[in-house]
């Protein structure tokens, strides 16, 4: 059981991240990851039964996004900006990571998110 933004509630589901690339010449998916819920990451028996490798640890969705973006940067993918949902927009570590790399970004935020104008 984990929260699904699509369902708007906690459900039995799989949550994944799939960064996509778009240009005037076309669109494609760049990468993919399956989000391992915190409860699964801590449950040795469940992990063993599901065949989850020991190296796979719990990471937040913004952490997974950062990992996939880092792989795209390392591969030389020529992107100029990044978009993300509220899970990404509410994560200041992701904001800082994007800003440190001078990547323009548009991230959804909750209407209650405190913002400061610089």
Residue 68 belongs to some domain of the structure: yes
Tell me how many domains the chain contains.
1
Residue 94 belongs to some domain of the structure: no
> Buried b vs exposed e over 49-86: b needs ≥16 C-beta within 10 Å?
eeebeeeeeebebbbbbbebbeebeeeeeeeeebebee
pLDDT one-digit tens code per residue, 16-33? 888 999 989 999 999 998
Residue 91 belongs to some domain of the structure: no
> Which helix (H) or strand (E) covers residue 93, if one does?
helix 92-100
pLDDT one-digit tens code per residue, 54-65? 888 888 889 999
Instruction: With H, G, I as helix, E, B as strand and everything else as coil, classify residue 33.
Output: strand
- Structural domain range at position 54: 2-78
């Amino acid at each position: 059981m984990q929260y699904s933004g699509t369902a708007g509630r906690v459900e039995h589901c799989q949550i994944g991240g799939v960064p996509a690339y778009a240009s005037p010449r076309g669109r494609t998916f760049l990468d993919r990851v399956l989000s391992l819920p915190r409860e699964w990451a801590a449950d040795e028996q469940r992990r063993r039964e599901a065949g989850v490798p020991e190296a796979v640890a719990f990471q937040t969705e913004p952490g997974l996004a950062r990992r996939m973006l880092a792989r795209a940067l390392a591969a030389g993918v020529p992107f100029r900006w990044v978009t993300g949902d509220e899970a990404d927009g509410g994560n200041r570590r992701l904001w800082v990571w994007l800003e440190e790399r001078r990547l323009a970004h548009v991230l959804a935020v909750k209407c209650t998110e405190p913002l400061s104008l610089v």
